[in-house]
């Protein structure tokens, strides 16, 4: 089969996820613009191929057996542009969050500093309403431009997106661009805010390990990390995957872990927390099968 965009066959997903875990994608596609993306979605629908969109791969555990269908990466210049209009920023879905923070700092725009240390792209961050325990990216959104899997483009205001904790209603479409509302502030203050958030993440999560970020969503009124720690699971290991000693809601890869290792730890965590606290933890990371 020949896709209507630049693509590669049997691309290793471990090369494209922060976990550095995952088998082969049947097709890896990199559309250069919105028109190519629409043609690709049309091709996938006609050929009955599943479509998955990947950004920085920071919230994904891809199984060792690989995945069928097309994995789409929005890494071209059409999807990674940022521009400023007053105190608003128009940001492409493929923009890395560190790049967004850097741009806002240079422009003297504050509000995105809390995203420091989250290694994702704007599109994925908005779809999953990424953030800290106190702030979420949905708080910054003025509107988004999205494309559904039929290639139709529409504009949606923040009120349309139903932002809740680590969630939105952007399930059957792909974010193309977002308008973020920010606040003009002195660059010195912005840099100090970034340093404060960076330090807090290092203190709570450690650094230097491979992971997909927080594994589970926090249940209402509690912390998944606290529950897992209370079950005595910090430092638990399966193969080359380990539950972090710094933050129990992180499963880490020491460089050779498999998806099977991680999934075994996920099952162990869920069983232990359910047995001790009667709480069913909900995954925050996405499992690609």
Active site residues: 166, 214, 284
Query: What pairs with residue 7 in β-bridges?
Result: 29
- Three-class secondary structure of residue 53 per DSSP: strand
Distance CA 252, CA 288 (A): 18
Check residue 269 and report its DSSP letter: H
CB 269 within 8 A of CB 72: no
Alpha carbons 14 and 21: distance in angstroms, whole number: 4
- How far, in Å, CA of 11 to CA of 181, rounded? 37
Tally of CB atoms within 10 A around 202: 13
């Amino acid at each position: 089969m020949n896709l209507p965009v630049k693509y590669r066959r049997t691309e290793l997903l471990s090369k494209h996820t922060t976990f550095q875990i995952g088998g082969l994608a049947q097709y890896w596609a990199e559309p250069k613009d919105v028109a190519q993306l629409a043609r690709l979605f049309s091709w996938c629908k006609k050929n009955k191929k599943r479509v998955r969109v990947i950004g920085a791969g920071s919230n994904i555990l891809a199984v060792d057996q690989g995945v069928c269908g097309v994995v789409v990466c929005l890494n071209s210049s059409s999807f990674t542009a940022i521009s400023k209009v007053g105190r608003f920023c128009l940001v492409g879905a493929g923009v890395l969050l560190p790049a967004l923070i850097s741009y806002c700092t240079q422009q003297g725009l504050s509000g995105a500093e809390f995203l420091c240390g989250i290694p994702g792209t704007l599109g994925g961050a908005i779809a999953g309403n990424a953030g800290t325990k106190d702030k979420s990216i949905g708080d910054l959104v003025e509107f988004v431009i999205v494309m559904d899997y039929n290639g139709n483009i529409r504009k949606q205001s923040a009120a349309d997106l139903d932002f809740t904790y680590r969630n939105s209603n952007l399930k059957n479409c792909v974010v193309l661009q977002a308008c973020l509302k920010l606040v003009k502030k002195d660059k010195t203050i912005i840099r100090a805010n970034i340093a404060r958030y960076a330090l807090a993440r290092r203190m709570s999560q450690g650094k230097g390990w491979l992971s997909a970020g927080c594994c589970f969503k926090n249940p209402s009124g509690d912390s998944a990390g606290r529950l897992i720690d209370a079950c005595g699971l910090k430092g638990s290991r399966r193969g080359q995957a380990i539950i972090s000693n710094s933050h129990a809601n992180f499963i880490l890869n020491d460089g050779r872990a498999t998806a099977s290792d991680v999934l075994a730890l996920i099952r162990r965590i869920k069983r232990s927390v359910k047995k001790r606290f009667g709480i069913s933890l909900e995954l925050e990371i996405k499992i690609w099968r």
